[in-house]
């Protein structure tokens, strides 16, 4: 088992400014290992520390306490920063903040150009990245005229052009409509299953987290749950207490159980849920 990202007792707090008040740690001794090639979803209420944790994964933030390694490289070693950022890409919520050029293909070429990648290799990577996200036909378009979902796909292509082994997505679908969300989730699925890219997805959409190999739940700077989607989502009441929802399928099964109809809570996909309901109610 090879580890892509490892945090050991990671502790972090933001500068408090002038005030002398005791500031609580935003991350408090977080230890997490993300296996290479897996798709891990991170859930947690607003302010629980998800984005702060994500930014440690490619050295955008450095630990105040503990260590973070990306593919064995210590993020505190400045000599490794560029290599870490190349191998661990980041996609954020707002595509407008990630697009830097006036032409789609130039935008996607931006990072590899800065890395000094030879121009024929850049051409190949840009075309491949744009095809992967389904935006090749838009390569000569102006990004600002695209829809939010299309812009986010261009932003993802820009990260793919660096040829990363791991991509951390921080609420990439939060500003998108359902069709844009589905496109981004389709790309994540393709990266995970066709390329073996390690995927970390921070999301508020439980249906997205249900597709992951593993779900990590954060609360107040701690990891409070860690398991497969089926293991996590059956803990409906605990998740409610943490201010989190569960997928609609789980909620339906949970309410049926409360109404006295005994059904397994871990029929997570719509297909599984339909099957257990059909079996239960077949006359």
Options 7, 38, 48, 51; binder of Mg ion; rule CB under 5 A = 51
Neighbours of 97 (CB within 10 A): 9
Contact 30/221 with Cβ under 8 angstroms?
Answer: yes
- Scanning 46-54, 63-71, 253-261, 266-274 for contacts with ligand ADP by CB under 6 A, the matching segment is 46-54
Which one, 39 or 92, has the nearer CB to ligand ADP?
A: 92
Q: How many other CB atoms sit within 10 Å of the CB of residue 197?
A: 22
- Contact, 92 vs 170, CB < 8 A? yes
Task: Give the one entry of Mg ion, ligand ADP, none that residue 69 binds, where binding means its C-beta sits below a cut-off of 5 to 8 angstroms depending on kind.
Answer: none
CA distances from 15 to 10, 26, 49, 104 (A): 16, 11, 15, 37
**Considering beta carbons, is residue 50 or 56 the nearer one to Mg ion?**
50
State the nearest-atom distance from the C-beta of 146 to Mg ion, in Å: 24
Task: From 41-49, 101-109, 151-159, 247-255, give the range in contact with ligand ADP by CB under 6 A.
Answer: 41-49
Total site size for ligand ADP, rule CB under 6 A: 10
| Number of Cβ within a 10 Å radius of residue 151 | 24
- Residue with smaller CB distance to ligand ADP, 129 or 167: 167
Residue 99 DSSP label: -
Window of 50-58, 112-120, 136-144, 186-194 that interacts with ligand ADP by CB under 6 A: 50-58
Q: Please name which of 7, 155, 174, 169 lies closest in space to residue 95, comparing C-alpha atoms.
A: 155
Pairing of strands 88-91, 73-74: unpaired
For the purposes of burial, counting CB atoms within 10 Å of the CB of 15, is it exposed (0-12), middle (13-18) or buried (19 or more)? exposed
Residues 231-260 that bind ligand ADP (CB under 6 A): none
Residue 51 touches ligand ADP, criterion: CB under 6 A? yes
Structure-token pair, residue 234: 């059956």
Binding residue for ligand ADP (CB under 6 A) from 26, 59, 88, 161? 26
Query: Which chain residues interact with ligand ADP by CB under 6 A?
Result: 14, 26, 44, 46-52
Query: Which chain residues interact with Mg ion by CB under 5 A?
Result: 50-51
């Amino acid at each position: 088992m090879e580890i892509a990202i490892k945090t050991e007792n990671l502790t972090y707090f933001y500068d408090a400014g002038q005030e002398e008040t005791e500031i609580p740690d935003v991350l408090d001794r977080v230890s997490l290992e993300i296996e290479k090639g897996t798709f891990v979803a991170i859930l947690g209420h607003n302010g629980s520390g998800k984005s702060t944790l994500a930014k440690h994964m490619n050295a955008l933030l450095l630990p105040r306490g503990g260590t973070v390694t990306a593919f064995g490289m210590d993020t505190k070693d400045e000599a490794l920063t560029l290599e870490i950022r190349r191998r661990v890409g980041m996609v954020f919520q707002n595509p407008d903040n990630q697009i830097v050029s006036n032409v789609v293909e130039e935008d996607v070429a931006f990072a590899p150009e800065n890395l000094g990648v030879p121009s024929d290799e850049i051409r190949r990577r840009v075309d491949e990245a744009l095809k992967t996200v389904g935006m090749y036909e838009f390569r000569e378009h102006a990004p600002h005229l695209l829809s939010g979902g299309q812009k986010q796909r261009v932003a993802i292509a820009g990260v793919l052009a660096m040829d990363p082994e791991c991509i951390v997505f921080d609420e990439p679908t939060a500003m998108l409509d359902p069709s844009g969300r589905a496109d981004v989730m389709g790309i994540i699925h393709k990266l995970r299953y066709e390329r073996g890219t390690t995927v970390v997805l921070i999301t508020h959409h439980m249906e997205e987290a249900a597709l992951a190999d593993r779900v990590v739940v954060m609360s107040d700077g701690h990891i409070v749950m860690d398991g497969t989607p089926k293991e996590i989502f059956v803990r409906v009441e605990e998740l409610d207490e943490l201010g989190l929802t569960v997928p609609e399928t789980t909620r339906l099964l949970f309410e049926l159980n409360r109404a006295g109809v005994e059904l397994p809570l871990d029929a997570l996909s719509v297909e599984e849920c339909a099957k257990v309901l059909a079996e239960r109610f077949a006359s």
